[in-house]
Amino acid sequence: MTSPLNVHHDVAPLNQGCKTLSVALSGKSHSYPISIGSIGTHSLSQLGGWLQTVTTLKPTGKVLIVTDETVGALYAQFITASIKESYPSATLQLLSLPAGESAKQLDTLTTILTAAQALSLTRSDLLIALGGGVIGDMAGFAASIYYRGVPFVQVPTTLLAMVDSSVGGKVAINFKEVKNGLGQFYQPIGVFIDVATLETLPQREQLAGLAEIVKYGLIERSALGLSVLDTNQPSSQLSASSFWENLATLDSNWREAIVDLIASSCYIKAQVVMRDEQELAPATDATGRVCLNLGHTFAHAYEAALGYGTLLHGEAVAIGLMQATWLSETLGLLNQSTVKTIETLMNALNLYPITLPNHVAKPPCPEQLLQLMGKDKKVTTTGKLRLVLPVEPLGTVVVQEGVPIEAVKQVLLRYF
């Protein structure tokens, strides 16, 4: 089978040492490009020209830009100016919503739908989500249900949204205490990533996104530039832009490395999504979308036990990745030196150990965590724990059924 993905390393450096790279999905009606701008210059000011290449928006069309108050104050001016330049006769409307997870709910969704209706948005117009995963998920969901679906574009501004939530078409809001309780699969018509927006992203949010990037390195060794995952290879033979090496040099080489890491991550996510767009593959098929769940069963348990918002999602994922790694070691799926490689990298990236906020008196007890893990719908159908775990060679995962509870308990105790 030929790959459904076309990967273009196409555009010459925009700025010193920076490049633009795009990943395009093809072969399906909802294929869409992911454009990744450089860190050195604000590619947001090129958004209008890019829209002309990916949308059928008419010169007199309408555009609803949905953002949050923080991101809007920083970046809305760039994209409105750019769209006005390319579409001088278009009608633009900016909607700034409160920032944060607590806004990801029905009332805010109604606000977006009301703004769309007030603007008389139609299916030949456009909705743009400018912000992190909260805005992307919520505006995407609004786009999916308004008039049975209007075209929308993702313009992610957090690292997590760039490498994860903006790609793959899962859109949702939280509903009655259930995270992402209302939602569906609805693909954007394009994803436009301006890496320069990361310059203003708080460090804690950057780390949270980095945890998802490490996850990609652990699940997909065959993807773009992952040869460095072969730990037997001497470093002199490794590609200068390989995934694992880029991660390892992030500290000294943030600007250079991050663009390639985002591109590789989007590539891997897109590849998984193309294999199993709507999570219909058998739950034990590690090539399906379930592989993206690596570390997440642990993470969801910590988030729920500590109360949502105590840890950022990516921080909980960082904990879960280490616990999944240790569990694999216990079960004989990973050897000690590979575990050491992962541990060293996570430590160098400040992703291990994750400390709990001061107001948390003590970590949740294993019994509570195990109970929460058992409730995770992706974990079990028969009362046994089913987990995605890293295996040899590094960069490969399996779905392990019937994982012994006692072994899980030990890795929970090992972290805190």
Ligand X SMILES: NC(=O)c1ccc[n+]([C@@H]2O[C@H](COP(=O)([O-])OP(=O)(O)OC[C@H]3O[C@@H](n4cnc5c(N)ncnc54)[C@H](O)[C@@H]3O)[C@@H](O)[C@H]2O)c1
Interface contacts to ligand X, rule CB under 6 A: 68, 70-71, 74, 99-101, 104, 131-135, 137, 157-158, 160-161, 164-165, 168, 170, 180, 197, 200-201, 205, 208, 313
Closest CB to ligand X among residues 199, 392: 199
Q: Which is nearer to ligand X, 298 or 326 (CB)?
A: 298
8 A C-beta contact, residue 354 and residue 319? yes
Active site residue 148: yes
Question: If you compute the radius of gyration of the chain from its CA atoms, what whole number of angstroms results?
Answer: 21
Nearer to ligand X, 92 or 173 (CB): 173
Shortest separation between residue 164's beta carbon and ligand X, angstroms: 4
- Catalytic residue among 42, 104, 170, 221, which? 170
User: Do the beta carbons of residue 256 and residue 242 sit within 8 Å?
Assistant: no
Kindly name the residue from 245, 293, 315, 329 that is annotated as catalytic: 293
CB 396 within 8 A of CB 333: no
Closer to ligand X by Cβ: residue 132 or 151 = 132
| Residue with smaller CB distance to ligand X, 205 or 260 | 205
- DSSP labels, 29-59: TT--EEEE--SSS-GGGGHHHHHHHH----T
Least gap, CB of 124 to ligand X (angstroms): 26
Q: How far is the CB of 234 from ligand X (least distance, A)?
A: 36
Cis peptide before 353 (omega within 30 of 0): yes
* Residue reference for tokens 């799926």: 333
Q: Is 30 a catalytic residue?
A: no
Q: Beta partners for 152? A: 127
Candidates 19, 42, 289, 386; catalytic one: 289
Min dist CB 231 to ligand X, Å, is 29
To the nearest whole angstrom, how small is the minimum distance from the Cβ of residue 400 to ligand X? 23
Could you confirm whether 293 is annotated as catalytic? yes
Provide CB contacts within 8 A for 254, sequence distance 6+: none
63-75 per-residue burial string, b: 16 or more CB within 10 A, e: under 16: bbbbbbebbbebb
Catalytic residue among 313, 315, 329, 386: 313
Beta-ladder partners of 8: 22
Catalytic residue status for 300? yes
CB of 171 to ligand X, least distance (A): 6
Candidate list 148, 176, 362, 377, residue with the active-site label:
148
The residue annotated as part of the active site, out of 221, 269, 329, 386, is 269
Least distance between ligand X and beta carbon 251 (Å): 20
Sign of the Cα torsion 236, 342, 268, 174 reads: negative
Asked if 347 is an active-site residue, the reply is no
Q: Which secondary-structure segment (H or E) carries 171?
A: strand 170-175
- The CA-based angle 394-311-161, given to 5 degrees, is 65
Tell me whether residue 313 is one of the annotated catalytic residues.
yes
Instruction: Please say which residue, 183 or 366, places its beta carbon nearer to ligand X.
Output: 183
Cα separation, 415 vs 234, whole angstroms: 31
Question: Judged by CB, which is closer to ligand X: 185, or 416?
Answer: 185
Q: Which of 19, 296, 329, 386 is catalytic?
A: 296
Q: Strand 33-36 relative to strand 62-68: parallel, antiparallel, unpaired? A: unpaired
DSSP class of residue 311 equals S
Residues with catalytic function = 148, 170, 212, 269, 279, 289, 293, 296, 300, 313
